[in-house]
Amino acid sequence: MFKHAPAYELGRVAMAELLARHDLDPARLDQVIFGNCAQPAEAANVARVTALRAGIPERVPGFTVHRNCASGMEAVADASYRIATGAGKLVLAGGMESMSQIPLLYAPSYADWLEGLMRAKSLPRKLGAYARFRLAMLAPRIALAEGLTDLTCGLNMGQTAEVLSREFRIPREQQDEFALQSHQRAVAGRERLREEIVPMFPPPDFTMVRDDVGPRDGQTLEALAKLKPYFDRKNGTVTVGNSCQVTDGAVALLVGDEATAKTWPVPPLGRIRAFAFAGLAPSRMGLGPVYAMSRALSDAGLELADCELFEINEAFAAQVLACLHASKSDEFARAELGRERALGEIPIERLNVNGGAIALGHPVGASGARLLLTLLHELRRGGARRGIASLCVGGGQGAAFILERE
């Protein structure tokens, strides 16, 4: 849908809309911090490029952060650090990603051949260079697939989900049921989600896109059951149907200190109580939310039961279900978290109430910020005070934010 819209165009729309909705003079900004993973070659430091294209004055500096799937959360965390240390009062933070435009790459042998051809000056040398050409040099490397494969453990992200499905004995049927629920909730919440969406008119036909294009109204268990395992074709349970969708998107948030927030024409959606990042084995990266939530709750002096709503990024159904199992396990808490007892049970009826990435998609540089925005809106709608948003991070990390409303 957005394959002809680069990340900096998606980000520009989000930034400009945020400033317009709040009637905010962009000259008041102290910094722009945006997450992005696959930075476009033509837009180095893509956050700065995007900010300038959005009409933010040249004097307002900007930089890009990259923590894989948590890049959007990293941007908000960096904004919070700067505000806490007095280095700023108002920061535009968020994330953006065009996974559609992650390029195909050619092998180094092709680059070497091109270099040799350009260096050849005489006709004999040029003919010799052409004679060394092999069609195999044109075999493309899929950068998206390589980026979603962990270099240290050798597993792609779907294979790490298979690791968890076996470890926690999560059957295929349960994964498909969770995926179906994600679609059903996203379809039911379409009108609510419009509060956080700005319509786009992407090229080439510039037809308006008003809603997320991933949720399927007619999704059924029968259709999901027909899909074959994708990452372990012989014995696996993880399919494209119970995995997150590869999508494009951008999210923009204003982060300010309390005095600045009180001057906004629109009341702030909430405040950051605590946040944390955690590390774990890359092959079990999907459990990252449990590690990060444990640390964030400890920092805030809270228990899991003190949170009323939960957002966990749905990288894979197996991964989220594994987190639900681990969070209520005393054994896991003692062995992995250094706790005497489990974090607690996350009620499924209060988790991802408007669906998640299986239906909505996972534009990796933006998803962390999207989870924060979605949680804040749902806290407001439901009159709830506190919630936690978390996600797993490729490479073996987790991120979690505890958000509150007055």
Give the pLDDT confidence of 147-176 residue by residue, as tens digits: 999 999 999 999 999 999 999 999 999 999
Residues pairing with 398 in the sheet? 278, 392
Positions marked catalytic: 69, 362, 392
> Mean pLDDT throughout 73-91?
97
Which pLDDT score, from 0 to 100, does residue 202 have?
85
DSSP class of residue 255 equals: E
> Mean pLDDT throughout 58-86?
98
Distance separating alpha carbons of residues 117 and 131, to the nearest angstrom: 10
CA angle centred on 247, ends 246 and 253, rounded to 5°: 130
272 by DSSP, 3-state: which? strand
Going by pLDDT thresholds of 50, 70 and 90, the confidence category of residue 206 is: confident
- List of long-range contacts for 149-157, beta carbons under 8 Å, 24+ apart: 150/282, 150/283, 150/285, 150/394, 150/395, 150/396, 152/282, 152/395, 152/396, 153/281, 153/282, 153/283, 153/396, 155/282, 155/283, 156/231, 157/285, 157/315, 157/316, 157/394
Whether the pLDDT of residue 303 is over 90: the answer is yes
Going by pLDDT thresholds of 50, 70 and 90, the confidence category of residue 146 is: very high
Q: Are 105 and 138 in contact (CB under 8 A)?
A: no
Tokens standing for residue 24: 């905010």
Could you give the percent of the chain with pLDDT greater than 70? 100
Could you give the percent of the chain with pLDDT greater than 90? 92
